[in-house]
Structures are given as C-alpha cells and as structure tokens.
C-alpha cells in the first residue's frame, strides 16, 4: 500500500483546518451525527462533521451493539410478521400518546431502509433473538452490528471520500443567524484552543444530549444525583442544546433519562467490580428500598428499561438481600437461575444461554471486598443489618417475614412474582445486603422538533437551517425509555438520516 508522507498529511490537515465555508455543519460524530453527515454528503452537499473527543463514534459505537428495525429484509426473510403499524402502536401506547406521533411514525417507517443503508455503506447487521429474557416471546427486532468498529470506520471513509471533512477535538460554541433568523454560521473551538467562524447554511446538533453535564443532570433529576450512575457519553454536556436555546429553540421538554437496569457502584472506588456481586445484582432476589420495604416484582430484572424505571421510582437505589444459607449454597453449587445480562453477551458471542449461575467459590472474599467498598453490608441479625442500612428494624423484619411466607407458599401476594423466582428465603444470619444504584445510558429528549428533525421555536415554527437529532431531540419518548430493544440507537441513526435528507431539501428550496 502506498504510504502518504507526513508532510502531505500535515498539508491535508492544514487544508481541512483552514476551510471556512460548508453548506452543512454537523455537531457530534456519533450514530446520529454520522448518519446525518453521510446522508447530506450523498446529496452533494459540502459537510463539516465536528467531534468533541479524539475519536468519532460516540455512544452509538462505543456503547451500543445494534439497533431496532421493523420490516427489514432480514425480518422478511425470516418470516417475522411484526409490522410498522405494530411497532408504531406499541410505542405510542407505551407513552400514552404523549409523543410526536408523526415523528414516531417517521422513525419506525424509515427503520428498515436504514438497515439497508448501513449495510450498503459498510456497517452490516444481523437479526438476532431479542437480548432480554422478558422479550423472548416478542417478534425479533434487534439488528446486531457485525464487525462494529471497522463498520463505523467504513462509514466515515465513505463520508470523507465524498468530500466530507471530519474535525476531532473540536466543539461548537455558538450558532450564528441573520436578521431573518436563518442559520448563517457556527463559531467553533478547535483543539489548539483557537476559535473561528465557519460560515454555513445549516447546523445539525447531534452531540448526544447532556448526561455528561453534572449540573444539568442534577437540576433535571427527580432523585438524589448521588444515586445516579451514568453509563452514557461524558462528552455529551449539552452544547447543542445550549446553542439551539440561544437562537430561540423550544427547550421546555429538556429531556428524561434512559434508565437501564441497576448496578453496584462504589463511591470509594467507582472502577471496583466483582463478577460474582454483579451477577447476583442481575437476579430476582428480595429487593427493599431505603425504608426496608419491597417495592416491586423483582422479576422486572429481566426487562432492562422497566428495571431501571422501578429503581428510579424507588429513589434511585435499593438493596438486595440474602442470607448465609444462600452464600453457602452458591459457593459450592451452580443454581438454575438466569443472569439477566447473560443473553445479551451470549448473543454477541453467538453462544447458547446456560440459564444457570455460579458456583462462586470466592464469594465470601468478594463480599468482604464489597463491604470495604461500602456497597455490601452484613448483620448477624436483621435488626443489626437494618441499623447499618439506616432503616427501621421493625419494617425490615416485617418485610422479610412476609417474603419468607411467600417463598414457603410459592405465592407472592404482594407483587405477584413468578413462583419460579420464589426460591430463597432468609432464615438465619448472617444476613447480607448489597446496594444497587440506578444506571442511565444517557438523556433522551431535548429540543422540540418536527418529523423532519427541524428545530422548532417557542411559536412552534421551524427555525430556518437548524436541526436536532438523537438524544438532542424531543418527541420520540415521554418520561421513560420504551421496552422495544434498540430504539434509542435506531432513533439516532434514523433521525440523523432524516435530518440529512431534510437539509438537502431545505438548501435546494431556500433560495438564499
């Protein structure tokens, strides 16, 4: 292969850095940004794609493993009968119709074409069984990436081959408009710390919401921000939302959180992790809130969105409980239980789900480490344990006594948990409690848009030349993430493509 000299490379980089006019500037090079930029470039538009970090890809690459689609070629070939109508109705019913139904329909209707488009441009997918236990009877909708990282690289190579320019370590600072309110440019901050104006005719804000902005998160959360663990993009600090608000965008529905399961998070060492402890977190054991009360059917652990939502509703955290007999058993014996995340990782590896956990020979030692990291607590009696957890001993004893009766009778008269999960009572100490904290994949929703991804002002009219995609855009969700697998990633790709198509039409018809 011919090797490009460093001198030529520096010259090419300098040329990229010096160009001051593009028809379209896309802020954020994740799934929605790449989707928007490549689609716009395929319409012979000059496009600048900005990435805040040193590598493009965002949560759509580094976090996601695939995306939702309906009526794709793979689904049709495999005989799936699930339709655009079915998916649309499921989504709007889940949100009680508190969404932009035209936008939801557009995203769902476009989803199959997006799978084809991704494949044609270098990122192949395969239709796999749904990745969560609760969804095994639901028609298959999850399209898993094949050769993910190389696939993203091929998309970006296609973008650059069409004349698109990618600048990393570069952020958008301010959108510029003329007296008529039309976008005419964007002020950017380059990695050298130099600020400069890029003249353009449209800006697509695709930088992933605001989960990386602790101040914005704390002001939006309905729970204590200390009981919130973000697994989302730290670079997503609300830059796009701020810039759009400055030019009059409607940001009144700033966003909700993509609650997704719960996890054990140590405040002593956030990187601390023990597989045994995390596996136990993924089981329908006895869960209690900070008052020592059960608050849900723990079988919700097998649906990540609902698991995350119930944890969030409980105040952002809970404790799962077990006794010494459970520890002794799982230390020596594999148990016929399903880790709720096993199927996700088995799908990736194309392996069968085992539906068993353990044995964990080192569980005692792992629990001692967990105590040192202040995420596990132990008491010889339930009263001692309750005191360590700061809850009422009377309430905790009452909860455990009632739960033991449910286990004995194989009937949960409180929240109706499946009898198959009523296996472990808590009879004799020491008793253990492990703290699980709500986790979020990001923020969902930001500025109001229409089905073309055009940003709307406070009067409901489109701001000329301004677009928002992915986690920057409101209207796809209500207050919580839906249970259809891969929807947020699908929304990113599809909203990006829709914006890229719409901006081409806008520039062709705007006449300025």
pLDDT tens track for 347-363: 888 899 999 999 999 99
Residue 512 predicted with pLDDT over 70: no
Yes or no: say if 37 and 203 are a contact pair by the CB < 8 Å rule: no
Query: Helix, strand, coil proportions of the chain in percent (round to 5)?
Result: 40, 20, 40
Residue 229 predicted with pLDDT over 90: no
Residue 2 predicted with pLDDT over 60: no
Work out the pLDDT band at 230, boundaries 50, 70, 90. Answer: confident
- Of 472, 487, 448, give the one whose Cα is nearest residue 102: 448
Helix 31-41 / helix 487-510 crossing angle, nearest 10 deg: 30
Residues 6+ apart with CB under 8 A from 170: 50, 51, 52, 188, 189, 190, 191
Q: How far apart are CA 208 and CA 35, in angstroms?
A: 13
Work out the pLDDT band at 227, boundaries 50, 70, 90. Answer: confident
Q: How far apart are CA 366 and CA 105, in angstroms?
A: 48
- Of 124, 129, 120, 166, give the one whose Cα is nearest residue 148: 124
pLDDT tens, 360-379? Answer: 999 999 999 999 999 999 99
Yes or no: say if 473 and 81 are a contact pair by the CB < 8 Å rule: no
- Count CA atoms within 13 Å of residue 367 on its CB side: 24
Tell me the sheet residues that pair with 444.
Answer: 256
Instruction: Give residue 510's pLDDT.
Output: 82
Instruction: Give residue 4's pLDDT.
Output: 37
Yes or no: say if 465 and 89 are a contact pair by the CB < 8 Å rule: no
Instruction: Give residue 511's pLDDT.
Output: 66
Q: What is the mean pLDDT of residues 223-233?
A: 85
pTM higher than the cut 0.75: yes
Q: Could you give the C-alpha distances from 411 to 76, 326, 367, 420, in angstroms and in order?
A: 41, 20, 30, 10
Instruction: Give residue 349's pLDDT.
Output: 86
Give the percent of the chain with pLDDT over 70.
96
Instruction: Give residue 222's pLDDT.
Output: 83
Q: What is the mean pLDDT of residues 450-455?
A: 99
E-assigned strands of 200-316? 202-205, 228-230, 256-263, 286-288
Instruction: Give residue 380's pLDDT.
Output: 98
Q: What is the mean pLDDT of residues 102-126?
A: 99
CATH number for the segment(s) 16-213+233-253+446-510? 3.50.50.60
Instruction: Give residue 443's pLDDT.
Output: 93
Q: Which option is the CATH number for 258-439: 3.40.50.300, 3.40.50.1110, 1.10.287.980, 3.90.700.10?
A: 3.90.700.10
Q: How far apart are CA 78 and CA 89, in angstroms?
A: 22
Residue 3 predicted with pLDDT over 80: no
Residues 6+ apart with CB under 8 A from 150: none
Q: How far apart are CA 193 and CA 450, in angstroms?
A: 35
pLDDT tens, 118-164? Answer: 999 999 999 999 999 999 999 999 999 999 999 999 999 999 999 99
pLDDT tens, 271-324? Answer: 999 999 999 999 999 999 999 999 999 999 999 999 999 999 999 999 999 999
pLDDT tens, 412-423? Answer: 999 999 999 999
Q: What is the mean pLDDT of residues 97-119?
A: 98
Helix 487-510 / helix 101-120 crossing angle, nearest 10 deg: 90
- Count CA atoms within 13 Å of residue 186 on its CB side: 31
pLDDT tens, 168-197? Answer: 999 999 999 999 999 999 999 998 899 999
Domain boundaries defined on the chain: 16-213+233-253+446-510, 258-439
Instruction: Give residue 14's pLDDT.
Output: 53
Yes or no: say if 308 and 340 are a contact pair by the CB < 8 Å rule: no
Q: What is the mean pLDDT of residues 448-472?
A: 98
Measured over the CA atoms of residue 257, residue 262, residue 265 and residue 270, the dihedral's sign is negative
- Looking at residue 167, what DSSP letter applies? E
Residue 28 predicted with pLDDT over 70: yes
């Amino acid at each position: 292969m011919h090797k490009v000299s460093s001198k030529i490379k520096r010259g090419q980089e300098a040329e990229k850095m010096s160009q001051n006019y593009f028809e379209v500037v896309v802020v954020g090079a994740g799934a929605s940004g790449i989707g928007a930029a490549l689609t716009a470039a395929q319409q012979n538009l000059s496009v600048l794609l900005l990435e805040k970090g040193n590598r493009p890809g965002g949560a759509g690459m580094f976090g996601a493993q695939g995306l939702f689609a309906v009526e794709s070629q793979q689904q049709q070939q495999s005989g799936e009968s699930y339709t655009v109508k079915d998916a649309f109705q499921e989504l709007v019913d889940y949100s009680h119709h508190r969404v932009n139904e035209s936008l939801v329909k557009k995203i769902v209707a476009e989803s199959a074409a997006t799978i084809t488009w991704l494949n044609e441009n270098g990122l192949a997918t395969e239709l796999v069984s749904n990745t969560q236990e609760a969804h095994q009877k639901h028609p298959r909708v999850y399209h898993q990436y094949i050769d993910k990282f190389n696939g993203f690289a091929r998309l970006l190579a296609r973008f650059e081959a069409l004349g698109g320019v990618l600048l990393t370590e570069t952020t958008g600072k301010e959108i510029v408009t003329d007296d008529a309110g039309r976008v005419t440019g964007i002020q950017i901050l380059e990695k050298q710390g130099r600020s400069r104006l890029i003249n353009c005719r449209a800006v697509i804000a695709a930088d992933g919401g605001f989960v990386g902005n602790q101040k914005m998160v704390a002001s939006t959360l309905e729970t204590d921000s200390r009981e919130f663990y973000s697994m989302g993009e730290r670079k997503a600090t609300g830059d796009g939302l701020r810039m759009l608000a400055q030019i009059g965008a409607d940001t009144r529905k700033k966003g909700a959180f993509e609650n997704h399961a719960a996890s054990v998070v140590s405040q002593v060492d956030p990187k601390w992790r023990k597989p045994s402890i995390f596996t136990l977190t993924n089981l329908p054991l006895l869960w209690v809130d900070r008052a020592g009360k059960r608050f849900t059917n723990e079988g919700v652990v097998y649906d990540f969105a609902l698991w995350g939502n119930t944890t969030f509703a409980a105040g952002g955290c809970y404790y799962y409980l077990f006794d010494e007999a459970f520890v002794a058993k799982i230390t020596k014996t594999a148990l016929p239980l399903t880790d709720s995340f096993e199927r996700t990782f088995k799908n990736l590896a194309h392996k069968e789900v085992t539906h068993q956990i353990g044995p964990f020979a080192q569980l005692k030692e792992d629990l001692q480490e967990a105590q040192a990291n202040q995420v596990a607590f132990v008491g010889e009696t339930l009263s001692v344990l309750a005191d360590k957890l700061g809850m009422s001993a009377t309430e905790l004893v009452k909860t455990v006594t009632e739960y033991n009766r449910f286990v004995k009778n194989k009937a949960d008269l409180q929240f109706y948990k499946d009898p198959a999960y009523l296996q472990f009572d808590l009879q004799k100490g020491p008793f253990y409690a492990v703290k699980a904290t709500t986790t979020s994949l990001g923020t969902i929703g930001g500025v109001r848009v229409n089905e073309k991804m055009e940003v709307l002002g406070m009067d409901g009219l489109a701001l000329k030349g301004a677009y928002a995609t992915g986690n920057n855009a409101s209207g796809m969700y209500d207050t919580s993430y839906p249970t259809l697998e891969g929807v947020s990633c699908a929304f990113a790709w599809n909203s990006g493509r829709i914006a890229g198509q719409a901006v081409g039409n806008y520039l062709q018809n705007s006449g300025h």
